[in-house]
Amino acid sequence: MELAAQLAAYAQTLSAELLRNRRSVPVEPVYRVYNYNRFQAARFGFDGELVDPFRRRHVRLRDDILETLERLTPFAAELGTVNPLMALAALAAREENDSRWLRACHEKTGSLPDVVRMQAERWRTEPPPA
């Protein structure tokens, strides 16, 4: 639940920043790379390479998240979301996420059914990562 609350705080703070600093840039370039970026994030987690269509560069998801969290700092102070965003930044800095955990489980067991079982057990018994 803690991670879900942190992600909600991130979404709330990002929404506040976007509403206050509306940009008049075209959204079409974002749609062109959306599926690729979504796949990279889902498949590789923090190691995913996103396409930034405005800066015309590739950036690791981890670096993009950390850069965005830094940009959101003033809004987080206003909204009282500093602590959850700091916790997310710490996760990103340590590169702790479910993608990495799942890969480690598969490497350890070599079995997808075992990975599914371990994931189900984790959700049932373990608290979320701090």
The model's pTM:
0.74
> What is the per-residue pLDDT across 53-68, written as a single tens digit (0 to 9) for each?
888 999 999 999 999 9
pLDDT by residue (tens digit) across 27-53?
788 889 999 999 999 888 888 999 998
Extents of the domains making up the chain: 2-96, 97-130
* pLDDT the model gives residue 127: 60
Per-residue pLDDT at 26 exceeds 80: no
Judged against a pLDDT cut of 60, whether residue 129 lies above it is answered with: no
Long-range Cβ pairs for the range 11-18 (8 Å, 24+) = 12/79, 12/81, 13/72, 13/75, 13/76, 13/79, 13/81, 13/85, 14/68, 14/72, 16/75, 16/78, 16/79, 17/71, 17/72, 17/75
> What is the pLDDT of the chain when averaged over all its residues?
89
